[in-house]
Amino acid sequence: MKWTGLNELREKYLAFFESKEHLRLPSFSLVPQGDKSILLINAGMTPMKKYFTGEVTPPKKRVTTCQKCIRTPDIENVGKTARHGTYFEMLGNFSFGDYFKHEATAWAWEFFTKVLEIPEELLYVSVYLEDDEAYDIWTKEVGVDPSHMVRFGKEDNFWEHGAGPCGPCSEIYFDRGPDKGCGSPDCKVGCECDRFIEVWNLVFTQFENDGNNNYTRLANPNIDTGMGLERLACIMQDVDNLFEVDTVQNIMKHIIDISGIEYHKDAKKDISLRVITDHIRSTTFMVGDGVLPSNSGRGYVLRRLLRRAARHGRLIGIDRPFLAEVCETVIKENANAYPNLVEKQDYIKKVIAMEEESFYKTIDSGLGLLNEMMANSKDNVLSGEDAFKLQDTFGFPIDLTKEIVAENNMTVDEDSFKTLVEEARMKAKSVKRDGAETDWRNSGVSFKDIAKTEFTGYTENNTNATVVALVSDGERKDFVESGDAILVLDKTSFYAESGGQVGDTGVITIGDSTFEVTNTTKDADGVVLHHGTLVGDAVKVGDTVVTVYNEEK
């Protein structure tokens, strides 16, 4: 086996399965389409769930992809360890009722041993305890030495999520050598140490679970495989973690150039370098797929990642906005595989820069106040009132407050914080409802000359529209430079408060500027009013905009 770059590995994999008559599909957007069960795509097969269930006919029965993914449950560990990350790419080959175990196993072995030239003696294979069929295929057809085969139970080698299609798994492990192990004579596949790492998971979807663990055989079983591209690159480049993979390391080097510090010289600074490197990868791809910073849903995930990265920049001595510069390297390293990043580069940089600059305006005063609060706290607990004040007044998300407090060996009274947030939410809802009556009826602002707004939200989330009226400081205006305002459009995907249902929130984009919608109402004539705050350049009547409402309420 020889050193292979991450971008080359991606291409080798996709080209190999194209040679096996698979249709190569581009990565689906990180924003799920027609699936409200998740905020962001978190696995290679997730965008194709309806292909597996039969709800949608796939473009071909054999498909291969390299899918962008975001996972944030372990975000607090990102940086603290060298293995955690929020962004990764998942290689996969899929069969929708076409080939099954014989082909999936043979091709996986061929790719590893022939294409990548990984020595067979370094590979191990696990199968489900009861899957004798897979065991026999691996040993008798593929030719894997039985001494390199292991059997695991349901917890490790059976894929299912309640009712629906499910089946046994087969995983391929790479032996990194005794020097990477725990030293125990019993060290083997399944050990918690770093010697044997699982690289590729082959899922044999062959059963239907009725929800009560009664399994019936599927007439047309499927193949669903997943292999982390960065993990494969670690093996082929003989490095210990994703931060040392070539393309990721190049991003970190850009941060090092800006900060003037060295990696592996200071443990705390290493944490910050890893946090920034990971988070700028995630945010660049998220913005490229249309996600914008906001206070809810996937927009909040983006905002949290950007602000966490910005704060860690401060911790290593960077005293100015810099993330938009680093995103240039992210785009450069991924330009061939994801050309949309290049096409949207100016836009992506603008969104990231605006968010970081906004955070910089409040971070100093917020951090100063937080330090005072911690110094005056009792029993090493920051009160819910203090945490709420930081978020409400200084825009400090609770997650950031918790992280800083934890670094000082303290905790936050989260129960009290949540109570205050809920009280504020109910108060704001009441004010919005009452204010909606006065905003346009009692302020002298009339929309009699405006046609009824066309509502598009039943069929689409994103709508191209035109600004037909603006209100600021209680007056109709031709343009608004910044701050709180009301936007009126010729059409919108935002649902206006009606019949007891609250109005939509979300974002309206105007070129490189954004209008954060905090409430949507309508007047007696059906003119929809978008209440919110303009961030960026001025907006004027006649501007073309894009409306994107938050799907999570």
Place of tokens 């080209």: 15
Taking the CA atoms of residue 288, residue 294, residue 300 and residue 305 in that order, the dihedral angle to the nearest 10 degrees is 60
Distance linking the first and last C-alpha atoms of the chain: 51
pLDDT value at residue 397: 76
Could you tell me the CA-to-CA distances from 38 to 70, 72, 284, 286, 356 in Å, in that order?
11, 12, 20, 15, 26
User: What are the residues whose beta carbons fall under 8 Å from the beta carbon of 113, sequence distance 6 or more?
Assistant: 119, 120, 123
CA distance 355 to 516: 12
Could you tell me the CA-to-CA distances from 10 to 45, 81, 90, 294, 308 in Å, in that order?
17, 25, 10, 33, 29
Q: pLDDT, tens digit, for every residue of 114-124?
A: 999 999 999 99
3-class SS string, 376-430:
CCECCEECHHHHHHHHHHHCCCHHHHHHHHHHCCCEECHHHHHHHHHHHHHHHHH
Q: pLDDT, tens digit, for every residue of 57-76?
A: 999 999 999 999 999 888 88
CA distance 129 to 154: 8
Q: pLDDT, tens digit, for every residue of 18-39?
A: 999 999 999 999 998 887 778 8
Residues 257/251, Cβ–Cβ less than 8 Å: no
**Would you state the structure tokens that stand for residue 274, as one six-digit string?**
């890893």
Range from 89-98, 113-122, 477-486 carrying the lowest mean pLDDT: 477-486
Residue 395 has pLDDT above 80, yes or no: no
pLDDT value at residue 173: 97
Residues 44/67, Cβ–Cβ less than 8 Å: yes
CA distance 64 to 48: 11
pLDDT value at residue 429: 57
Residue 553 has pLDDT above 60, yes or no: no
Q: Which of 258, 397, 274 is nearest to 324 (CA)?
A: 258
pLDDT value at residue 535: 77
CA distance 518 to 520: 7
Name the β-bridge partners of 171. Answer: 126, 201
pLDDT value at residue 457: 84
pLDDT greater at residue 307 or residue 393 = 307
For the chain, domains (ranges, CATH) are: 6-230 (3.30.930.10), 245-364 (no CATH), 376-442 (no CATH), 454-549 (2.40.30.130)
**Would you state the structure tokens that stand for residue 506, as one six-digit string?**
């979300």
Q: pLDDT, tens digit, for every residue of 403-443?
A: 899 989 999 999 999 998 888 777 655 554 554 444 444 45
**Burial code of 277-299, b = ≥16 C-beta within 10 A, e = fewer?**
bbbbbbbbbbbbbbbbbbeebbb
Q: Which of 296, 298, 327, 295 is nearest to 310 (CA)?
A: 327
Name the β-bridge partners of 151. Answer: 127
CA distance 54 to 239: 41
Residues 470/491, Cβ–Cβ less than 8 Å: no
Task: Write phi, then psi, for 317 (nearest 5 degrees).
Answer: 95, 5
**Burial code of 146-176, b = ≥16 C-beta within 10 A, e = fewer?**
eebbbebeeeebbbbeeeebbbbbbbbbbbb
Residues 104/223, Cβ–Cβ less than 8 Å: yes
pLDDT value at residue 472: 85
Single pTM value for the model: 0.76
Residues 226/43, Cβ–Cβ less than 8 Å: yes
For residue 519, the surrounding DSSP H or E stretch is: strand 513-522
Residue 286 has pLDDT above 70, yes or no: yes
pLDDT value at residue 430: 58
Where does the pLDDT of residue 381 fall: very low under 50, low under 70, confident under 90, or very high at 90 and above? Answer: very high
Residues 425/417, Cβ–Cβ less than 8 Å: no
**Would you state the structure tokens that stand for residue 227, as one six-digit string?**
């292999």
pLDDT value at residue 161: 78
Residues 98/123, Cβ–Cβ less than 8 Å: no
CA distance 183 to 165: 40
Task: Write phi, then psi, for 480 (nearest 5 degrees).
Answer: -130, 130
Q: pLDDT, tens digit, for every residue of 240-271?
A: 999 999 999 999 999 999 999 999 999 999 99
Place of tokens 């629906």: 164
Mean pLDDT for all residues in the chain: 89
pLDDT value at residue 432: 47
Residue 444 has pLDDT above 70, yes or no: no
Residues 242/277, Cβ–Cβ less than 8 Å: no
Residue 2: Cβ-neighbour burial (10 angstroms; 0-12, 13-18, 19+): exposed
